[in-house]
Amino acid sequence: MGSAVESGWVVSLSLAAKCGELSADPSRFLSLAFVVVVCWLATGLLHWVSPGGPAWGRYWWSRRRPWGLGGAIPGPSGLPVIGSIGLMSGLAHRKLAAAADAIPGARRLMALSLGDTRVVVTCDPDVARDILNSSDFAERPAKESAYGLMFHRAIGFAPYGAYWRNLRRIAGTHLFSPKQIFAFGRHRAEIAAQMVRALDGLASEPVQVRKIVKQASLNHVMWFVFGKQYDLERETDELKELRSLVEEGYELLGKLNWSDHLPVLAGLDLQRVRSGCSGLVRRVDRFVARIIEEHRVERGRDPKAAPGDFVDVLLSLQGSDRLSDSDMVAVLWEMIFRGTDTVAVLIEWVLARLVIHGEVLTRVQAELDAVVGRDRAVTASEAIGPLPYLQAVIKETLRVHPPGPLLSWARMSTSDASVGGGIVVPAGTTVMVNMWAIARDPTAWPDPLRFDPVRFLAPGGRAAEFPVMGSDLRLAPFGSGRRSCPGKGLAMATVELWVAALAHEFEWRTPSDADVDLSEVLRLSCEMAAPLTVTLRRRRRGREMA
């Protein structure tokens, strides 16, 4: 990079020195200007036609090694200046998979340019393992909306280092440990009962389940993080405000911001991302800071009381663990933001598959009747028990409909790093794993387009040893390695209990037996484009959830 900049200064100074001479001879000036323009266009063309497009071309040529560092990584050239930024709009996971399939060798690792940003994408589980489990890829790329929404001070986007490790340790100990997940079972069971009551009241008409499931997920997070309990059937002003904050945050963080990739646009804020984040973060700060202050006052009344929720935990930290109020706001806001989305999106996909595949729903209900009993409600302890077929259904849904098809947030290489047996990814490169494409790879999954939960069962109907927590990169919907989702255990426990309760209590159909629309929309997560609409009939009429 330095040689290119130095060359530019030499050319500029030389032109400045000759300006006096050229001004006296306009024809010579025009000739020189023509030569400069031609050289500029030729250089841009060379950058553009390089594998991966203009950002990669500039990188290689600035080092005078156009095919250096182990050879160029295959990839589309895209368009001049902007590269392949169009691949990141709409259903980016599908577009990136199609682009990789069209270029020999690109499924293993594909280079592309998003404006000035160098990017590599893998659709290969072995390369994905090299990336996700290496400390060379533990950093996050800069993202204006993430910084604007304070996430650079929370677990998701905090720079890899002591502060980030401390946050992971605190969350792992006080929120996401097996002991804490078990302790939260009462919360999950109570909210499941609220969902059943709410849906039962709507059973006489077609119901869109998304609103209820998202509200339940938000209530769950607010309960175990903030100690606040909301009634699912009664909406308060505080709840309306909270939902508005979360929805606005989804829109801003999920938006493809051109300013992240084209620095020339950074000062213009053409997509209103910066101003949107600025306005939203002021409202978030007021909302979360108010709750922190309520907890601080309560703790002042009884300083020796054991922490009751995660806010109390943060307020009780001492010494080097102690967080400033602004950092607490960032950490707690991220808990609300990320804890709500994935669970609700996954449950809607699971329910959609149960509606489509009636034989799968029947088998799930038979398993629940055998394990729980037709005359009993599902409780937290029973949902954690032996329900191998339901667990297989959830895993298969994660395979065909991963909520984060590109694992939500990318990684960035902090040094030149070798992956895939010798492919070198230069420092400063944004790295993505296309989990959606891996889960549809016929070399990894027999008949990958077929929805078949049995693939996750061993002979005899027992659960097969196939974890989805990140050790097997053929299916790692929560990521793997240092930056994997810290709440994955809690998310899976919640989804299992709530789906079990809903399947046990109701028969699920579509109105007039209409087809379920499985088309997608990719926001922060990959959701159903058309909310699932169902008609319900109680299986256990007159029996309330415990």
Domain ranges of the chain: 2-81, 147-538
Please report where in the chains the tokens 């059943």 appear, as a residue.
Answer: 196
Q: Is the dihedral of CA 536, 541, 544, 546 positive or negative?
A: negative
CA 91 to centroid of chain Cα atoms: 14
Closest CA to 530 of 337, 349, 289: 349
Greatest CA separation for the chain: 99
Phi then psi for residue 117, to 5 deg, are -90, 125
Q: What pLDDT score does 448 carry?
A: 97
Is 39 annotated as contributing to ligand binding? Answer: no
Please report where in the chains the tokens 């054991």 appear, as a residue.
Answer: 306
Instruction: Say if residues 391 and 452 touch (Cβ distance below 8 Å).
Output: no
User: Which residues, in sequence order, are bridge partners of residue 534?
Assistant: 207
**CA contacts within 13 A on the Cβ side of 307:** 16
Q: What pLDDT score does 21 carry?
A: 54
Taking 70 as the pLDDT cut, the residues of the chain under it are 1-49, 64-71, 381-385, 541-546
Q: What pLDDT score does 483 carry?
A: 92
Phi then psi for residue 279, to 5 deg, are -70, -40
Q: What pLDDT score does 402 carry?
A: 96
Q: What pLDDT score does 300 carry?
A: 84
CATH number of 147-538: 1.10.630.10
Closest CA to 246 of 269, 273, 271, 215: 215
Q: What pLDDT score does 408 carry?
A: 76
State the Rg of the chain over Cα.
26
For 269, the token pair is: 């804020």
Instruction: Say if residues 520 and 526 touch (Cβ distance below 8 Å).
Output: yes
Please report where in the chains the tokens 């149960």 appear, as a residue.
Answer: 354
Between the two ends of the chain, the Cα-to-Cα distance in Å is 65
Cα(402)–Cα(396) distance, rounded to whole angstroms? 9
For 166, the token pair is: 């401390």
